[in-house]
Amino acid sequence: MSSKEKTKTTLIKPQVLKGFRDYLPAQMIAREGLMETAREVYRSFGFSPIDTPALERTEVLLGKSGDETEKQMFRFRDQGDRDVTMRFDLTIPFARFAALHLNEIGTPFKRYHLGTVWRGENPGKGRFREFMQCDFDTIGTDSVMSDIETLLVIHELMCRLGFDQFMIHMNNRQILNGWLDKHGLLDQATVVLRALDKILKIGREGVIAEMGAQAGIAVEQAEGILRLTELKGNANEMLTQLEAVLADHESGLAGVKRTRTIFETVIAAGVPEERLKLDLSIARGLDYYTGVIFETFLTERPDFGSVCSGGRYDNLAGMFTKQELPGVGASLGLDRLLAAMIEMDCLELRECPADVIVTIMDNDRLPEYYRLGQQLRAAGIRNEVYPEDKQFKKQMKYADRKGFRFAIIAGSDEFEQGIWQVKDLKAQAQQALSETELIAFLKSELAPAAT
């Protein structure tokens, strides 16, 4: 049996693994657009790109215990019998990277990293086993200036992605910790945060009960913690109240002061005050973050959750190096944002990145059509010369399906007269233009070039 016959008799089912997905053109064009915008914003603030391998030693990603009870990882033994795992976030690889290349990169070091990560969790609505992360971080400094910059980047990202209705929620772990320390409860911080995190599920009474049961926190103290997280008003008023509540507690007051500096500076630098909210209830990352914390919500669709989150941490790479690397950063939820934008209908989905199709009426004039395509391209006009020898009707059907905006048409009459017909496929209007006119017309109609 020849290999050709064998292929014919035993077709393999074309399928995608559970929890994984293909990106078809319309989604992928939109996704590339978001990624390019994110990259351009990061670059515009002087963050540099890095990349790390998809595969790392399991010890590097999970520590020596290699405990994967909490998170199901894609872990296996490679050809060299090494215990390896596919990266499940970009933070641990960055910690490993920073420890390994510290002398080359120096500090402060600002990097962005767009990369795919894999988690073998049970896939559910909007949850996949493969997704992209878009992180940016500044490490090697505990300066408030890098907190300020992080907030500016988040704001710029949202604006450049086309949003104007969003709210960046900000908290500072030092404030709650200051209060807990003042009341002799700092050792219970983890239990407190875990309980607070459940407030939507178990309610106020549930949170108070859990703090009592898990950490022996008295009801009035639990009430005090809850009141703190429930503070309302504008940031300035809240911070003034917090100064009173934390009176005499040095690090708590330092947290308040730092938070005030961040607010005041970004507003003075041009961020609209109504897009910022001091929200002492957000507790992202529980133990991980130690200073400022950010979450970003779409005003019209808070149900999508935070689309850009992050915060400050004390030490990035303690697992790998004795050098302390404090840092601050955030991560753009690209796929979540894409899903939101599609649902909110604020994204033009296109099947094809080109705007113009050059149709073929006269096969003996092929070079002319290609030459025109090159001329348009040189003028920045994305175009496609129809790639087959088919009837004109079929070419227009293809143009329709792909969503081109303009079709160029020319047969022997047009070649004789030295003109091109250009048809606006939306307006269904056609006109005859010289080549120079055509290029000028398309440039003005299509500017600014869509991505």
Q: Give residue for tokens 């233009």.
A: 433
Find the binder of a second copy among 37, 56, 435, 441 (CB under 8 A). 56
DSSP helix/strand/coil, 409? strand
149 binds a second copy (CB under 8 A): yes
Residue type, 308: C
388 binds a second copy (CB under 8 A): yes
437 binds a second copy (CB under 8 A): no
DSSP state at residue 330: E
Q: How far is the CB of 382 from a second copy (least distance, A)?
A: 5
DSSP helix/strand/coil, 75? strand
Say if strands 276-278 and 166-172 run parallel, antiparallel, or are unpaired.
parallel
265 binds a second copy (CB under 8 A): yes
Contacts (CB under 8 A) with a second copy, residues 245-264: 261, 264
Contacts (CB under 8 A) with a second copy, residues 72-91: 72, 74, 76-80, 82, 84, 86
130 binds a second copy (CB under 8 A): yes
Contacts (CB under 8 A) with a second copy, residues 183-242: none
Q: How far is the CB of 12 from a second copy (least distance, A)?
A: 5
7 binds a second copy (CB under 8 A): yes
> Any binding-site annotation on 350?
no
Find the binder of a second copy among 1, 125, 184, 322 (CB under 8 A). 322
Question: What does the alpha-carbon distance between residue 315 and residue 48 come to, in Å, rounded to a whole number?
Answer: 20
234 alpha carbon, distance to own chain's centre: 28
On whether the CB atoms of residues 130 and 118 are closer than 8 A, the answer is yes
For the record, the structure tokens of 367 come out as 């070079």
- CA Rg value for the chain: 28
Q: How far is the CB of 349 from a second copy (least distance, A)?
A: 12
199 versus 361: smaller Cβ distance to a second copy? 361
106 versus 418: smaller Cβ distance to a second copy? 106
Stretch touching a second copy by CB under 8 A, among 173-181, 230-238, 347-355, 409-417: 347-355
Question: What does the alpha-carbon distance between residue 382 and residue 375 come to, in Å, rounded to a whole number?
Answer: 10
Stretch touching a second copy by CB under 8 A, among 161-169, 247-255, 397-405, 407-415: 397-405
59 versus 223: smaller Cβ distance to a second copy? 59
Q: How far is the CB of 22 from a second copy (least distance, A)?
A: 5
On whether the CB atoms of residues 121 and 127 are closer than 8 A, the answer is yes
Q: How far is the CB of 33 from a second copy (least distance, A)?
A: 10
On whether the CB atoms of residues 274 and 235 are closer than 8 A, the answer is no
Terminal-residue alpha carbon distance, the chain: 49
Cβ neighbours of residue 53 closer than 8 Å, sequence gap 6 or more: 87, 93
Say if strands 327-332 and 130-139 run parallel, antiparallel, or are unpaired.
antiparallel
> Any binding-site annotation on 289?
yes
Q: How far is the CB of 304 from a second copy (least distance, A)?
A: 22
Contacts (CB under 8 A) with a second copy, residues 11-30: 11-18, 20-25, 28-29
50 binds a second copy (CB under 8 A): yes
> Any binding-site annotation on 119?
yes
56 versus 437: smaller Cβ distance to a second copy? 56
Stretch touching a second copy by CB under 8 A, among 226-234, 335-343, 382-390, 414-422: 382-390
Cα dihedral 22, 26, 32, 35, rounded to 10, equals -90
127 binds a second copy (CB under 8 A): no
**Cα dist from 444 to 33, 355, 371, 380, whole Å:** 22, 13, 21, 11
Element (H, E) at 426: none
Stretch touching a second copy by CB under 8 A, among 59-67, 250-258, 289-297, 425-433: 59-67
Total of residues contacting a second copy (CB under 8 A):
115
Element (H, E) at 26: helix 25-44
Find the binder of a second copy among 189, 191, 209, 319 (CB under 8 A). 319
Residue type, 94: F
Question: What does the alpha-carbon distance between residue 296 and residue 313 come to, in Å, rounded to a whole number?
Answer: 18
Q: Give residue for tokens 């129809």.
A: 386
User: Binding site, residues?
Assistant: 89-91, 119, 133, 137, 284, 288-289
Give the residue ranges of the annotated binding site for L-histidine.
Answer: 89-91, 119, 133, 137, 284, 288-289
